[in-house]
């Protein structure tokens, strides 16, 4: 059919290297994501290695493997010293394996080295555990039985979803048992009147979006990893993404979770329910340390037909801020995304990704993506054009383009969503995800540039509309001198301006000990008591989220 041929040939021309991957025979396992990100994930481990330059792929970790008991930390996570495995946790033995096989059946107890290799390594290839066992439960009862067994035997576990986290929260630190919810991927119910979707935790975000698309609805969140991440993982990490500015965080849109060890059935589909303490908020963002999310009930939004996207260039950060204020005023109810990226990020994407071109003809210091979603095509279009032309006259915008069709829109998004991918290809990358007051956001990038000088390339991009900066430092190689200059400088800077050291990525194992930069000791102490209440033996995702010092009992 013409459309398919056009699409395929478009992909061939415009998405260069990806097309090589698209020509592979069996593509039907994961639908292709608009951003192209999925080709990375669905072949993680194998194909990914062939894409990445050799200097990055040497698995520097291998040289520092000091045995199973000590963590396989490749390089520069926090400046905290090496973590040690808690002797209180038991080690896996054959009796455990056979008990698991009784609960789950032989097929869903994985001891195969190759599969464990991928499950043990995180997406950034920064953290690698040494787990010997992965379990694949199919429903809540099986999860509950597994956890009760692990609790009785004091076996540490790691809940795992799509394994796309960026702070090492989804992989084992030592030999924890991996509980992967990938088999729990059914959509349970969808109410077309209220828009409430009930599904199991292992559903891939993009699959849910495709399902909802046929019904005329959209998911309230959208992120670059949508081709691989699971909704359960999104909920556990309170993922933000590109649509937060319009639809709010998951705390607002998730109606219930069922988490467990003991099955806590909080699964409801009511929009309003003020009966007692709302416990689901504890689990949203707890990163698997308080319980495992098995089912999610989420409020979805009707799909609006008119989506417009503009890509504009500005000379300086002050203009970006002014444009943000003006956009919120003038585009108000139709504004659905406001992202920014700086010149270094644009250069990186143009150099490392194929089939990408700069939409504006001039190179400027900052680029902004503004998306509007509404129900009236002509009206929205006129509003957006009027706003942009006014900004052009005022001198806030130096140049810009408006996407004329969905194809152009997805090529604009490819630039913004492809930065993470380009960073992986460029070599070593240190990632920081900070929430700061909008005026301060770019100051940290400039300060860090001055501090690091020629040593590394500092990039700043992110969700300007939410005050969220993704600070990335790219260097040819990982080295301790660089990490020493970056941390704890970045955390102290953030703390001084009352920002958050983790806006949406979570703490995981990377920032477990840094929580004090953003939360007071009293608050953290209460968090620790809640953890002890819900997980007395501390088997759920240990060594992560909360500082290790609190649990040295």
Partner 1 sequence: MNTPSLFISGGLNLPPPEIKICFCSLFFYFFSFCCYRAMKILVAVKRVVDYAVKIRVKPDKTGVDTQNVKMSMNPFCEIALEEALRIREAGFAKEVVAVSIGPSQCVDTLRTGLAMGADRGIHVETNSSFLPLTIAKILKSLAEVENPGLIFLGKQAIDDDCNQTGQMVAALLGWPQATFASKVVLDKDKHVATVDREVDGGLETLCVELPAVITTDLRLNQPRYASLPNIMKAKSKPIKKMTVQDLKVDVKSDIEILEVTEPPKRKSGVMVSSVDELIDKLRNEAHVF
Does 114 interact with partner 1 (rule: CB under 8 A)?
A: no
Question: How far apart, in whole angstroms, are the C-alpha atoms of residue 219 and residue 205?
Answer: 8
- DSSP assigned state of 68: S
Question: How far apart, in whole angstroms, are the C-alpha atoms of residue 39 and residue 48?
Answer: 9
Does 290 interact with partner 1 (rule: CB under 8 A)?
A: no
Question: How far apart, in whole angstroms, are the C-alpha atoms of residue 546 and residue 132?
Answer: 25
Rank residues 27 and 431 by Cβ distance to partner 1 and give the closer one.
27
Please, what is the minimum distance in Å from the beta carbon of residue 97 to partner 1?
A: 35
User: Which pair of tokens denotes residue 84?
Assistant: 């040690």
Site size toward partner 1 (CB under 8 A) is 39
Question: How far apart, in whole angstroms, are the C-alpha atoms of residue 78 and residue 127?
Answer: 12
Part of the chain binding partner 1 (CB under 8 A), chosen from 10-18, 69-77, 294-302, 500-508: 10-18
Does 363 interact with partner 1 (rule: CB under 8 A)?
A: no
Does 192 interact with partner 1 (rule: CB under 8 A)?
A: no
Contact between 474 and 423 (Cβ < 8 Å): yes
The contact mask relative to partner 1 for 310-339 (x = CB under 8 A, - = no) is: -xx---------------------------
Does 406 interact with partner 1 (rule: CB under 8 A)?
A: yes
Question: Residue 460: beta bridge partners?
Answer: 471
Does 361 interact with partner 1 (rule: CB under 8 A)?
A: yes
Does 270 interact with partner 1 (rule: CB under 8 A)?
A: no
Nearest C-alpha neighbor of 206 from the set 218, 196, 197, 194 = 218
By CB atoms closer than 10 A (0-12, 13-18, 19+), residue 211 is middle
Please, what is the minimum distance in Å from the beta carbon of residue 364 to partner 1?
A: 13
Please, what is the minimum distance in Å from the beta carbon of residue 365 to partner 1?
A: 17
Does 350 interact with partner 1 (rule: CB under 8 A)?
A: no
- Interaxial angle between packed helices 441-452 and 489-496, expressed in degrees from 0 to 180 and rounded to the nearest 10: 150
- Which of 307, 337, 471, 490 contacts partner 1 by CB under 8 A? 307
Please, what is the minimum distance in Å from the beta carbon of residue 286 to partner 1?
A: 37
User: Which H or E run contains 88?
Assistant: none
Question: How far apart, in whole angstroms, are the C-alpha atoms of residue 463 and residue 337?
Answer: 8
Please, what is the minimum distance in Å from the beta carbon of residue 394 to partner 1?
A: 13
Residue 49 sits at φ, ψ, to 5 deg, of -65, -35
Contact between 81 and 70 (Cβ < 8 Å): no
Does 388 interact with partner 1 (rule: CB under 8 A)?
A: yes
Contact between 141 and 113 (Cβ < 8 Å): no
Burial 302-319 (b: 16+ CB within 10 A, else e): eebebbbbbbbbbeebeb
- Which of 389, 476, 525, 526 contacts partner 1 by CB under 8 A? 389
The contact mask relative to partner 1 for 368-387 (x = CB under 8 A, - = no) is: ---------xx--x---x--
Please, what is the minimum distance in Å from the beta carbon of residue 409 to partner 1?
A: 9
Part of the chain binding partner 1 (CB under 8 A), chosen from 91-99, 253-261, 403-411, 519-527: 403-411
The contact mask relative to partner 1 for 409-428 (x = CB under 8 A, - = no) is: -x------------------
Contact between 452 and 482 (Cβ < 8 Å): yes
- Which of 306, 330, 365, 495 contacts partner 1 by CB under 8 A? 306
Please, what is the minimum distance in Å from the beta carbon of residue 323 to partner 1?
A: 13
Question: What distances in angstroms separate CA 322 from CA 62, 96, 316, 439, one per listed residue?
Answer: 49, 60, 10, 10
Residues that bind partner 1 (CB under 8 A): 1-3, 6-7, 9-10, 13-14, 213-214, 305-307, 311-312, 357, 359-361, 377-378, 381, 385, 388-389, 392, 397, 399-408, 410
């Amino acid at each position: 059919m013409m459309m398919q041929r056009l699409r395929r040939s478009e992909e061939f021309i415009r998405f260069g290297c990806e097309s090589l991957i698209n020509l592979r025979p069996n593509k039907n396992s994961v639908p292709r994501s608009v951003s192209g990100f999925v080709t990375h994930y669905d072949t993680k481990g194998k194909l990914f290695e062939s894409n990445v330059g050799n200097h990055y792929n040497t698995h520097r970790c291998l040289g520092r493997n000091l045995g199973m008991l000590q963590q396989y930390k490749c390089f520069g996570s926090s400046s905290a010293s090496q973590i040690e495995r808690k002797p209180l946790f038991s080690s896996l033995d054959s009796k455990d394996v056979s008990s698991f096989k009784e609960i789950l059946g032989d097929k869903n107890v994985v001891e195969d080295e190759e599969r464990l290799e991928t499950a043990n390594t995180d997406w950034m290839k920064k953290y690698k555990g040494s787990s010997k066992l992965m379990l694949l439960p199919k429903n809540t009862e099986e999860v509950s039985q597994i956890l009760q067994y692990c609790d009785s035997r004091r076996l540490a576990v790691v809940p795992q979803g799509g394994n796309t986290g960026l702070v090492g929260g989804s992989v084992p630190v030592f030999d924890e048992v991996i509980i992967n919810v990938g088999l729990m991927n059914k959509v349970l119910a969808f109410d077309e009147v209220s828009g409430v979707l009930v599904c199991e935790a292992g559903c891939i975000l993009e699959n849910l979006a495709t399902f909802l698309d046929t019904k005329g609805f959209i998911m309230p969140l959208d992120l670059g990893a949508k081709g691989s991440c699971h909704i359960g993982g999104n909920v556990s990490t309170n993922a933000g993404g590109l649509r937060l500015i319009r639809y709010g965080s998951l705390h607002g849109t998730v109606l219930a979770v069922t988490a467990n060890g003991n099955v806590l059935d909080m699964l409801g589909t009511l929009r309003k329910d003020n009966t007692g303490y709302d416990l689901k908020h504890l689990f949203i963002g707890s990163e698997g340390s308080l319980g495992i999310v098995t089912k999610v009930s989420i409020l979805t939004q009707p799909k609006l037909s008119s989506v417009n996207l503009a890509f504009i260039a500005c000379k300086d950060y002050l203009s970006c801020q002014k444009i943000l204020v003006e956009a919120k005023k003038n585009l108000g109810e139709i504004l659905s995304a406001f992202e920014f990226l700086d010149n270094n990020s644009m250069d990186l994407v143009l150099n490392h990704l194929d089939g990408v071109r700069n939409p504006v003809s001039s190179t400027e210091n900052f680029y902004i993506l503004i998306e509007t979603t509404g129900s009236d095509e002509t009206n929205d279009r006129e509003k957006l054009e009027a706003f942009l032309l006014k900004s052009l006259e005022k001198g806030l915008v130096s140049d810009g383009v408006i996407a004329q069709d969905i194809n152009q829109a997805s090529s604009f998004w490819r630039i913004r969503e492809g930065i993470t991918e380009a960073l992986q290809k460029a070599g070593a990358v240190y990632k920081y995800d900070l929430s700061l007051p909008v005026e301060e956001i770019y100051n940290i990038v400039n300060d860090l540039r001055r501090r690091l000088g020629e040593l590394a390339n500092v990039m700043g991009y992110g969700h300007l509309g939410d005050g969220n900066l993704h600070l990335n430092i790219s260097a040819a190689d990982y080295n301790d001198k660089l990490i020493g200059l970056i941390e704890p400088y970045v955390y102290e800077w953030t703390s001084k301006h009352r920002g958050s050291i983790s806006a949406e990525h979570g703490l995981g194992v990377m920032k477990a000990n840094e929580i004090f930069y953003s939360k007071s000791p009293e608050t953290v102490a209460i968090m620790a008591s809640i953890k002890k209440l819900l997980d007395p033996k501390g088997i759920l995702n240990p060594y992560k989220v909360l500082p290790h010092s609190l649990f040295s009992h």
